[in-house]
C-alpha cells in the first residue's frame, strides 16, 4: 500500500488534516488539565491531617495495619465519637473500605461517614452516610435534621457483607448527593434547603451503645473543579 506524504496532499486537504490534528491535541491537553485525580486522605501510619472532634475521646481512635480503628469490640462505646479531616471539601467523590463488627446484644452497633459537616462542642454536625443494621446506606443529617433518605436495599441486600469489608462511595456535586455501598446506589438526593452548607469536613464515626469496632482503610477523595 502506497504511503501518502503530507507535503504531497492538496492544500485544502493539508489544512483539514492539520486542523483535525490540532483538535485532537487540544482535546488531549484539556483532559489532562481538567481530569481530577484521587488523593489519599490517610497515610496508613498516622492520623496526620485528622483530628478528634472531642479531645476526651482521642484514645478511642488509633491506626493499625494501615487501618483507622475505633472501639475494641469489648468495651461499650460511651458516646458518639468522631475523627475528622482538618481540610474542608465541597464537590467531590469520596471512597473507602470499611468494616463494622460487634455483638448487637451489647447495644447499638453503628457507624457512619460525615461529610460537608462542621465541628461544634465536640460534635460533628452535618450529612452522614450511615453504616449498620437497620441503617445501611441511609442519608442522615447528624445533630440537625435526622434521617433524610432511607437507603434502597433492594439490590444491596444481595451483595452486602455485614461484619466484613465493604466499600462506600459518596459523590457530591452542587446540591446533588449520591451514596453507594459495594457499587450499589442506595441514595440519590437533591438538597433543596439553600441554608445548608455545601462545604465542610469529612469525618468517620462510631456510635454510642454496644461494644463495637469500626475500621476504615483506603480513604481517598477526588475533588471536582
- 137-185, pLDDT tens digit by residue? 999 999 999 999 999 999 999 999 999 999 999 999 999 999 999 999 9
Per-residue pLDDT at 36: 73
Classified as helix, coil or strand, 33 is helix
CATH architecture of 39-223: Sandwich (2.60)
- 3-46, pLDDT tens digit by residue? 445 455 455 444 444 444 343 344 444 444 445 799 999 999 99
Entry pTM = 0.84
Per-residue pLDDT at 225: 85
Per-residue pLDDT at 35: 58
Only one residue has cell 472531642, namely 54
Per domain, the residue ranges of the chain are: 1-35, 39-223
Only one residue has cell 455483638, namely 103
Contact (CB, 8 A) for 216 and 96: yes
Per-residue pLDDT at 111: 98
CB atoms within 10 A of CB 223: 14
> How many whole angstroms separate alpha carbon 27 and alpha carbon 156?
38
Per-residue pLDDT at 189: 98
> How many whole angstroms separate alpha carbon 121 and alpha carbon 72?
25
Per-residue pLDDT at 8: 55
**Residues whose CB is less than 8 angstroms from the CB of residue 99 and which lie 6 or more positions away in sequence, other chains included:** 163, 164, 165, 166, 214, 215
Cα–Cα distance list, 51 to 35, 85, 101, 137, 202 (Å)? 30, 6, 23, 25, 11
Helix (H) / strand (E) element for 141: namely: strand 139-142
Residue 60 has pLDDT above 90, yes or no: yes
- 185-202, pLDDT tens digit by residue? 999 999 999 999 999 999
Amino acid at each position: 500500500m502506497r504511503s501518502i506524504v503530507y507535503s504531497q496532499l492538496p492544500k485544502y486537504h493539508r489544512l483539514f488534516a492539520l486542523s483535525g490534528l490540532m483538535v485532537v491535541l487540544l482535546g488531549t491537553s484539556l483532559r489532562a488539565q481538567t481530569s481530577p485525580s484521587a488523593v489519599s486522605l490517610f497515610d496508613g501510619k498516622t492520623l496526620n491531617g485528622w483530628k478528634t472532634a472531642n479531645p476526651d475521646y482521642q484514645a478511642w481512635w488509633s491506626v493499625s495495619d494501615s487501618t483507622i480503628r475505633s472501639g475494641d469490640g469489648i468495651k461499650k462505646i460511651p458516646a458518639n465519637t468522631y475523627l475528622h479531616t482538618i481540610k474542608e471539601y465541597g464537590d467531590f467523590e469520596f471512597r473507602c473500605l470499611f468494616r463494622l463488627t460487634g455483638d448487637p446484644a451489647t447495644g447499638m452497633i453503628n457507624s457512619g461517614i460525615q461529610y460537608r459537616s462542621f465541628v461544634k462542642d465536640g460534635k460533628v454536625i452535618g450529612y452522614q452516610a450511615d453504616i449498620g443494621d437497620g441503617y445501611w446506606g441511609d442519608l442522615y443529617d447528624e445533630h440537625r435534621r435526622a434521617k433524610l433518605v432511607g437507603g434502597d436495599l433492594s439490590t444491596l441486600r444481595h451483595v452486602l457483607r455485614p461484619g466484613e469489608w465493604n466499600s462506600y462511595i459518596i459523590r457530591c456535586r452542587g446540591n446533588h448527593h449520591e451514596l453507594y455501598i459495594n457499587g450499589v446506589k442506595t441514595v440519590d438526593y437533591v438538597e433543596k434547603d439553600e441554608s445548608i452548607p455545601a462545604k465542610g469536613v469529612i469525618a468517620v464515626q462510631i456510635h454510642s451503645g454496644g461494644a463495637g469496632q469500626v475500621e476504615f482503610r483506603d480513604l481517598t477523595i477526588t475533588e471536582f473543579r
